[in-house]
Amino acid sequence: MKEVTLNPSVVFRDDLDDIAILYNPDNGKAFSLNQTGAIVWKMLYERKNIDEIVGIVTDTFENTPVEIDDNIQEYITLLIERGLAGYVC
């Protein structure tokens, strides 16, 4: 399984309201994250792999959809496409 690493330039702030914000100073773009997105970001920061993240999200939230692992993978793909994260070679 490929390991995900976060772009070290990106700033994460979750002290504004119930939405967190990711800011990429290299291109000036900011992205808002919902609660789940923020939790996943924090777990990626802690270098947890996708299986661990899926397990924690499933344990934390009620009524987690069966396709949660696909959802998290799509989210990580989105982060990578936007230059906010990448795979460790």
Does 20 participate in binding another protein (rule CB under 8 A)? Answer: yes
Interface stretch with another protein, choices 15-23, 40-48, 51-59, 72-80 (CB under 8 A): 15-23
d(CA 30, CA 33): 10
Strands (E), 1-89: 4-6, 11-13, 20-24, 29-33, 85-87
Check the CA dihedral 31-37-38-43 and report its sign: negative
Site string for another protein, 32-71 (x = CB under 8 A): x---------------------------------------
Binding site for another protein (CB under 8 A): 9, 11, 13, 15-17, 19-21, 23, 25, 28, 30, 32
